[in-house]
Structure formats: C-alpha cells, structure tokens
Amino acid sequence: MVAELTHFIGGKHVKGTSGRFTDAFWPMTGEVASKVPLASKGEVRAAVENAKAAQPAWAATNPQRRARVLMKFLELVHKEYDSLAQLLAKEHGKTVADAKGDIQRGLEVVEYCIGAPQMLKGEFTDGAGPGIDIYSLRQPLGVVAGITPFNFPAMIPLWKAGPALACGNAFILKPSERDAGVPLRIAELFLEAGLPAGIFNVVQGDKEAVDAILDDPDIKAVGFVGSTPIAEYVYTRGCAAGKRVQCFGGAKNHMIIMPDADMDQAVDALMGAGYGSAGERCMAISVAVPVGKATADRLIEKLIPRVESLKVGTSLDPTADFGPLVTKAHLDKVKSYVDTGVQEGAKLLVDGRGFKMQGYENGFYMGGCLFDEVTEDMRIYKEEIFGPVLSVVRAPTYEKALSLTNEHEYGNGTAIFTRDGDAARDFASKVQVGMVGINVPIPVPLAYYTFGGWKRSGFGDLNQHGPDAFRFYTKTKTVTSRWPSGIKDGAEFIMPTMK
C-alpha cells in the first residue's frame, strides 16, 4: 500500500485536506513511493497562524538556550545518521554515501548556528554625545519561510532553518514534493530536541502553496533554491509583497584546464564534479574548458575511458558512482538535451542514453554522456541540463576561457586547474562568478563563509549561511539613549548633531 504523507503543523502531523495529491516515486524502481498532499491557501495559513502564535516566546528565549536546542538536534541526527541517509538515498536516487554528504553539509551550518549568542551581539558606544549612549540590537523578523529543491532534501532545508531558528524566528518549510520524507523527519527531530511546537512547520505543496507563502502578510522573509525562472518569479512576487527575499537559481559551472595543469588531477575532478549525484547539483561542473588544442586533446583522451567506465547503480549499491535521476520526467528532459546537442552538431563521444539497469528496468537510470566541440551558440552550452552530461568547450587562449565564464548568464561556481599561481590569482580576481575554486572543482564554502552565485544564479543582496544568514534573518534596531542628569537644554529645532 502506498503511504500518504502529511504536513507538519503546530508540532503534529496533519493530513492534507485540499483533496489534491501528487505521486512521489522510488527512483531506483520507478514505483510510486507515496502520495504527497498539495496544500491549499488555507492550509498554508494554518501553518502561519501556528508559527505566529509560537514565535514571540521563542524570540524571548535567550540565544544560548536556543543554541542548546540546536545542539540536541545535532545529537539526535547523529544517532540515526545511517537510517536518515538510507531514506534520503531511496527518495532522491543519490547513493547512500552521497546522501550522508548531503546531511553533513546541512549539519555543519547548524553547528555554525550554535554560535548564535556571538553572532547576535549588537554594538555599543558609550558617550557618543553629552550623556548620550548609542547601541544596536539584532531582533528576529517573526515568521519566515524556506522553499527548497529536490536535489538536497536535507542540506538546503537546514541551511535555511538553522539560522532562522537560531535568530528567534518561526520557520515554515515548503520542501520539494519529489522527496518530502526527509524534511518531515527533520521536523520531528527538531521537536524531539526541544523546539517548541509551531516553530518548525512543514507544508507540502506546489505553486498554490508557494504563492500563498509569497502573498501572506505575516511571512516576513522567504528563501528559495531552484531553477532561475522560478527564482526570479519568487523574488519578484515576494519583493512586491514587501518581504525580504533571497533566491538562488540555475548554474552552468565552467572548469578551466590550463596547459600546465596536472591532467590526472583535473580528470579526477571533472569525473566527480560532473557526474556525482547524476549531475543533479547546482554546483556540478557541466562545462570543461581546456586551453589550447594540445590540452584539449589530452583531456579528451583521458576522459573517454573514464566516462565509459562509470558505474551506474542503485542508490543502495556502495560501489556505484551515481544512481538514478529523480523522476521519469527529469530523465526524459536530460535525454532530450543530449538529443539536441547531437542535432546542433556537438560530438557525442560517450552516449549514456541507452543505459538500462538489470533488474531495475523501470528505474530512472542513465549513463554518463560526454560532448566535445561544444560551441557558445548551442542550447546544451547555454542552458542548465542538471544531469550526467559534460560538455567540452575548447578555448584557444586563457583570455577566451575567462571570457566564456564571464559572458555566460549564470555565475554560480567556477574552477581553474593550474600550477601557475599568477594565472590562478588573475582568474580569481577577474572572473564574474560568486564562488571560485583553484584546483578545487566544487568550491562550496564552509558554513562560516557565505554561499551564493552572481548574475542570474542569485537574486537578492544577502547569501546563504555564514554571517549573511544572521543578517538576513534579523532586523537591526538602533537605540540612542540619554538619562536626565540636571541638564536643561530647552527645545531644539535644528537637526541633532554631535558638533
């Protein structure tokens, strides 16, 4: 019997009442895994009302005690790390080892947020004027929301929730309906860790739920991760409703391979960054840019056998390099991009479209694909494919390789592989991308730095995790104070100054 998932509102599992459901699948087998309720505007509103009622008491809880709840949450997750990773892998399709990385990178942000007492300290100036002190306070926004993608069902919700909760806000999560089981378990573990009921709510849904979140006047901030068209929509509609909004969209991450690069190291990097998690990462390397014909020829010579020998397996196969894609619809979309690349004239050197998993023929599997001689005018270069497809774009010079990266509409992540410190320094300085790796293929910053792309990869002024997260989830109040001490200045009609 297919399970029916729930919402999580006010500390309880709540059945969907809209009458609308969508199917979630086991990517390994293609079978229906669960029925996911799609919330109505009224169901979203119920979550908001619960959150709004609970938030003042949570905000009044001092930061150190809030941090203790996060510490307890970490302890609980570690106790069921393996089972949570198994669930995540089965729901998403990524391997168990990759699922553990998904969870770990989320926990690292929660670990950072345990430092909330330090991060939330304001400033104080004694004697800013005659008998006048000035100080600032960081206070929570109230009720905030996160709209998160399918590809990191643990990491991204924790990137949003950790800082929001540490700052004293109540949080509403609208996870992807494709793999909603892990977010529900996260909500249960927060409650078990001591988070008050109503402070972490999960609302399943589609566009109706998203629009309800964006339009609700009691939700003060929204964080989103997904495709660029939807990121732009969420940002525009949320800002029009007067909310604070941060949105992160698509990517087309380039990796520059200089003639002096360690080619074996570069190929290892491309294999992991291009094909790990079946390419379903916003920080995946999807474009390799070798500089010079000799570099390109050497790269291709080494890449072909490596891509051909990729091991595609079930999510539970510990020897698999990557597992199935998340849905049949997404699998078909990725294959259609490969079809388009062939039609556009790119050279398909390795074709994984025909891969079938023995015993799992109905699963959403695809082998690795490798294109050479991809050009700037092709759709497979311009658009995000989000699958196990690597495109090689040959650049005659370093300057051309740099311009390719800078002129692309996306600016999420990039990397350069070289032994030349001057070239690396020049690239890091001039490249118009938010996150840069030097001999590091996936330059996702650690939790105490900030994560965010440029250009059409990111919308909003503040990024995810690091100090920016505490700025995003708080508002600053500045107090100017003077206590009477026998000074009688009389009425003043000019602008106050400290002259």
Task: Report helix, strand or coil for 26.
Answer: coil
The tens place of each residue's pLDDT in the chain, 499 residues long, gives 789 999 999 999 999 999 999 999 999 999 999 999 999 999 999 999 999 999 999 999 999 999 999 999 999 999 999 999 999 999 999 999 999 999 999 999 999 999 999 999 999 999 998 889 999 999 999 999 999 999 999 999 999 999 999 999 999 999 999 999 999 999 999 999 999 999 999 999 999 999 999 999 999 999 999 999 999 999 999 999 999 999 999 999 999 999 999 999 999 999 999 999 999 999 999 999 999 999 999 999 999 999 999 999 999 999 999 999 999 999 999 999 999 999 999 999 999 999 999 999 999 999 999 999 999 999 999 999 999 999 999 999 999 999 999 999 999 999 999 999 999 999 999 999 999 999 999 999 999 999 999 999 999 999 999 999 999 999 999 999 998 775 666 777 787 776 6
Residue 194 to residue 213: CA distance in whole angstroms: 26
pLDDT at 130: 86
CATH 3.40.309.10 assigned to 253-438: yes
Residue 465 to residue 448: CA distance in whole angstroms: 7
Residue 62 contacts residue 72 (beta carbons within 8 Å): no
Query: Residue 43 CA to chain centroid, in angstroms?
Result: 25
Strand partners, 248: 225, 458
Rounded to the nearest 10°, the torsion over CA 44, 47, 48, 52 is 180
Catalytic residue among 113, 167, 282, 369: 282
Residue ranges per structural domain of the chain:
3-249+457-479, 253-438
pLDDT at 77: 98
Residue 385 to residue 324: CA distance in whole angstroms: 15
Strand partners, 27: none
With a CB cutoff of 8 Å and minimum separation 6, the contacts of 214 are: 222, 234, 237, 238, 241, 243
Residue 99 to residue 93: CA distance in whole angstroms: 9
Both structure tokens of 418: 């070289």
H-only helix segments in 345-457? 379-382, 398-407, 421-430
Task: Report helix, strand or coil for 391.
Answer: strand
Starting at the edge strand found earlier in the chain, the sheet holding 413-417 runs 347-350, 369-372, 389-392, 285-290, 253-257, 413-417, 435-438
pLDDT at 498: 62
Question: Count of CB atoms within 10 A of residue 185's CB?
Answer: 20
With a CB cutoff of 8 Å and minimum separation 6, the contacts of 153 are: 88, 91, 92, 102, 175, 176, 179, 180, 182, 183
The CATH classification number of 3-249+457-479 equals: 3.40.605.10
Residue 286 contacts residue 391 (beta carbons within 8 Å): yes
The question of whether 369 is a catalytic residue gets the answer no
Task: Report helix, strand or coil for 274.
Answer: helix
Residue 48 to residue 144: CA distance in whole angstroms: 9
Q: What is the DSSP letter of 451?
A: B
**Closest by Cα among 22, 4, 61, 367 to 176:** 22
Both structure tokens of 312: 């595609």
Length of the chain equals 499
Residue 440 to residue 421: CA distance in whole angstroms: 14
Q: What type of residue sits at position 329?
A: A
pLDDT at 239: 97
With the C-alpha atoms ordered 206, 209, 213, 216, is the resulting torsion angle positive or negative?
positive
With a CB cutoff of 8 Å and minimum separation 6, the contacts of 307 are: 271, 275, 349, 350, 368, 369, 370, 390
pLDDT at 488: 65
Residue 43 to residue 371: CA distance in whole angstroms: 47
Tokens 């107090």 locate to 479
Tokens 């729930």 locate to 6
Q: From residue 5, how far is each of 37, 88, 117, 238, 311 by CA, in Å?
A: 7, 15, 36, 28, 33
Q: What type of residue sits at position 4?
A: E
Task: Report helix, strand or coil for 105.
Answer: helix
Give me the DSSP letters along 305-344. Answer: HHHHT--B--TT-TT-SB---S-HHHHHHHHHHHHHHHHH
Indicate yes or no: pTM above 0.85: yes
Helix-then-strand count for the chain, H and E: 16, 23
